[in-house]
Structure 1
Amino acid sequence: MAAANKKIHIELIRKEPEDYKKLGSSVRKDVAKKIDKLADNPFAGDSLGNKDNIDLTGYYKLYACDKKIRIVYRLITPERVEIIEIGGIGKRDTMAIYKTIGKRIKNHIEKPQT
């Protein structure tokens, strides 16, 4: 759990807002609640590793909407947990969200944000 007085900053990577906008309004509300809860417990999600040959080591998944939606995130500073970066949000029914995150990670490394 995060310390009571400690403020945790949650960031969205470049494409995640597009993921969020694609969701219906009731789904967005549930996703927003889950993301807000990460500020209280950044380790609430399950740790990811290699998914379908996509290296997601250091990332976590958290479910929303009765496990129909995955929120994939990582802790930027896991030893202090000050920043949580949301990598993507997508339907759980396929590996598509993991593939999307893998592409975003690759693009982020090749073309760092300025």
Structure 2
Amino acid sequence: MYAINNHPLVEEDLKALDHSFVLLVFKKLKQLQNAPQQGELLGNKHNMDLSGYRKVYVAKKKVRIVYRIINDELVIYVVAIGKREDMEVYQEATQRLKS
């Protein structure tokens, strides 16, 4: 089973979501601990390089979780959680990786 480590700003992402979405996010994170490869690979799109990171959908594709698998440590590193609107969650993830 993989451990879940979050970027420090993921807590703010969760606070911005409706409570029902937060419950679904935690359920999905629990699933990822046992099968982290289920996420779809991201790449370099729209000038945002998320190569090596993955995304999974929550709440009928309304919310995305962007994460990376660190196999040698059995860790899933969650970078961002949020809505896809205007590529917001991917922009946030890219920005967090730069800082």
Q: TM-score, normalised by structure 1?
A: 0.82
Q: Distance in 1 between matches of 2:45 and 2:92?
A: 12
- Quote the RMSD (CA, aligned, Å): 1.1
More helix by share: 2
Shift of 1:93: 2.5
Q: Distance in 2 between matches of 1:65 and 1:86?
A: 17
Task: Give the unaligned 5+ runs of structure 2.
Answer: none
In the TM superposition, what whole-angstrom CA distance separates every residue of 1:85-113 from its partner, at most 9, and x where no partner exists? 00001112321111111110000xxxxxx
Q: Is the 8 A contact 2:40 2:54 kept in 1?
A: yes
Secondary structure (helix, strand or coil) at the match of 1:87 reads: strand
Decide which of 75, 84, 99 is 1:92's aligned counterpart: 84
Cα distance between partner residues in 2 of 1:46 and 1:16: 20
* Unpaired stretches in structure 1, ≥5 consecutive residues: 1-6, 108-114
TM-score for the superposition, normalised by structure 2 = 0.94
Q: 1:24-103 residue pairs with structure 2 within 5 A?
A: 24-77=18-71, 80=72, 82-103=74-95
Work out which of the two has the higher radius of gyration on C-alpha atoms and give 1 or 2: 1
| Residue of structure 2 equivalent to 1:106 | 98
**Percent of aligned pairs sharing the same letter:** 40
What amino acid sits opposite 1:33 in the alignment? Answer: K
Query: Runs (4+) of structure 1 moved beyond 3 Å?
Result: none
Greater strand share, structure number: 2
The amino acid of 2:84's aligned partner reads: R
Equivalent pairs counted in the alignment come to 99
